[in-house]
Structure 1
Amino acid sequence: MSKKLKRNKNKVKDRDGQIFNLINVVLLTLFALIIVVPVWNVVISSFATESAMAQNFIFFPKSLTIANYEAVLSDSTIWTAFGISVSKTVIGVITHVLFCSLMAYGMSKKLLRGRSLYSAMGIVTMFFGGGMIPTYLLIKQLGLIDNFLVYIIPALLSYYDVIILMNFFRDVPVSLEESAKIDGASDFKIFSSIILPLSKPALATIALFNGVGQWNDFMTAKLYVNNEALWPLQMRIYEIIVQSQVSQTQGFNPLSQSLTTTQGIQLATIVVTATPILIIYPLLQKHFLSGMMLGAVKE
């Protein structure tokens, strides 16, 4: 009797496991479709003609055109704007990660004088800001109007990122730092040679989030940059969209015999601006999933 009961229990467990796996597959498939279908619709709609755009298609339009991308990329200044976006993103990410990690390393030490005061000051900045007008006056007094550094200096510090890095640095075994100090390493040497290499997952996460924010930043250029030569890609494409709206409102479309539409240009803009991030993300994803602390000294 006992063997039969065990067999029945095993059959019940196997059946429950199969049902559980089936439910998981169904739910994950639905979740994937919820994500993939809208993305596909945006991409394929960016290639749709004006007549195809008028139809309510989901998967594939009857006629395709690259006129929307021609409208976005035909501007002679678009590549200059692309260079500005790449420059401010790369420089902004490097300086932001370095600045936040330096501050987080100091804040992670209990022996730091005034640590509680610094922490309180940082937390206040997470909940309260000066507002748009005081910020504009501050940027103007610092001489950052129509200055490339307006993309870099105000974005140097995020206390939220400091907290993430600070908690990560606290998990680094103290034995590593103590052994390095015995060998004569300075604090900066320990930080650059031990702390940063062991903190690649946290640094990659901060770099990705800040990079996406820098790449998509539009309001900084809108508020503080009047010089078109310093406009990033998002600001330049915004002007292209506005011009296309004005042209179609006036009944005139100079590109591709009215093959372009305002909605098509907007969708093409989404694809153009999102593509670099979609290319970079898989390169950093491995750092989110792997822990660099494996094999380190345990306390």
Structure 2
Amino acid sequence: MSFIKRKTIGEAVFDIINNLGMLLICFVTLYPIWYVLINAFNDGKDAMLGGIYWWPRVFSLENFKAVFDNPGITTAMLLTVAKTLVGVGAHVFFTAMVAYAFSRRELIFGRFYIFLGTITMIFSGGLIPTYLLIRDLHMLDTFAVFIIPVLFSFFDLIIFMTFFREIPDGLDEAARIDGANDWTILLRIVLPVSMPVIATIALFHGVYQWNDYFAGIIYINKESLQPIQTFLYRVVAQSSSNIMTTALQGSAVTKTVTSQSVKLATMVVTTLPIVFAYPFLQRYFVKGMMIGSIKG
């Protein structure tokens, strides 16, 4: 015979207040995104009148047409896609390679290396020394400045290393008996069974690469090498400058779009790719984040 425990009045009131509080937090978090979205799909001139809160009043795609008609925005978007794909691939492989070496118990001075790496998570050289180093390496105004300085992360190494150490030693021993070396074990055994942690690190670094605007401001002077987030930063920071004039030049829809509407459309364009990519990586991401917390 089963008994169903009935909630007391206090517990019921707490649940109601808790649910209402969570709904309020969700609304406060999501509404600004929804507000940007509906105004981006609204006619620019009409949006200047205000009063748009829930749905586009005059639906229009002209704002997005103005965004993609501008070659500067298109170039920045393609560059951002390229640096995200290349950066994620290089970062994941390089960090996994170093983490595999750190995960080997026979590594000489392994604990000392981990201690040194932990220090780098707390202290950094600072902006000016980093800029001087990038300059002396001749990476200013080059595509490599988006990839090489963030090729390695000790925090990501710890996540990789923890996962690698949970892989049964029997796989490694069996591979070595068959004549496999460390490269073969890493590429053909360790990485294929490490998809959860690879997806986690790829999502971490992919979001960073996509949202990074700072490198474009500090290290890049060429407009052809400025990523979309740097372009968007300039649009937002200089709303009345020539940037928006350039964005609207040659467009046949300047009568229905405004600098503000193009800003909002640019924000949507730069945000949606990451939003769409996250659901495909979510199941790996959740599992990867639990690495090391529970062992069974």
Structure 1 residue 229 and structure 2 residue 224: aligned? yes
Partners of 1:102 and 1:290 lie apart in 2 by 21
How far does residue 226 in structure 1 lie from its aligned partner after superposition?
A: 1.2
**Distance in 1 (alpha carbons) for counterparts of 2:54 and 2:202:** 35
Structure 1, unaligned stretches of length 5 or more?
Answer: 1-5, 292-297
Which residue type is aligned with residue 177 of structure 2?
Answer: I
Percent identity between the two aligned chains? 40
SS at the partner of 1:245? coil
Task: Report what 1:272 is aligned to.
Answer: 269
Provide closer, same or farther for how the CA distance between residues 258 and 242 of structure 1 changes in structure 2, counting only shifts above 3 A: farther
Paired residue type of 1:152: I
Alpha-carbon contact 1:72-1:237 (below 8 Å) kept:
no
> Against the structure 1 CA distance between its residues 249 and 267, is the aligned structure 2 distance closer, same or farther, given a 3 Å change threshold?
closer
Give me the whole-angstrom Cα distance separating, in 2, the residues matched to 1:104 and 1:14. Answer: 51
Instruction: Write the distance in 2 (CA, Å) between the matches of 1:28 and 1:120.
Output: 41
Structure 2 letter corresponding to 1:283: F
* 1:103-124 Cα deviation digits (max 9, x unpaired): 1111112211121221122111
C-alpha deviations, 1:201-234, integer Å up to 9, x for none?
A: 0110100110111111111111111122222222
| Structure 2 letter corresponding to 1:222 | I
Q: Secondary structure, in 3 states, of the residue corresponding to 1:198?
A: coil
User: Which residue number in structure 2 is paired with residue 80 of structure 1?
Assistant: 75
Compare 233-242 and 193-202 and name the one that shifted more. Answer: 233-242
TM-score calculated relative to the size of structure 1? 0.81
- Establish whether residue 282 from structure 1 lines up as the match of residue 279 from structure 2: yes
Question: For 1:194-209, what aligned pairs fall within 5 Å after superposition?
Answer: 194-209=189-204
**Contact conserved, 1:208 with 1:284, CA < 8 A, in 2?**
yes
Q: Which has the larger radius of gyration?
A: 1
Query: For residues 29 and 240 of structure 1, what CA distance do their matches in structure 2 show?
Result: 33
1:90 alignment partner in structure 2: 85
Structure 1 position 239, deviation (Å): 4.3
Structure 2: distance between partners of 1:226 and 1:51: 36
Residue 46 (structure 1) aligns with? 40
Match of 2:163 among 159, 168, 174: 168
Q: Which AA in structure 1 matches 2:79?
A: I
Size of the aligned set, in residue pairs, is 282
In terms of mean alpha carbon deviation, does 80-89 or 198-207 score higher? 80-89
In the alignment, structure 2 segments of 5+ residues that lack a partner are: 289-294
SS at match of 2:191: helix
Q: Where in structure 2 are the equivalents of 1:33-72 lying within 5 Å? A: 33-48=27-42, 49-72=44-67
TM value normalised by structure 2: 0.82
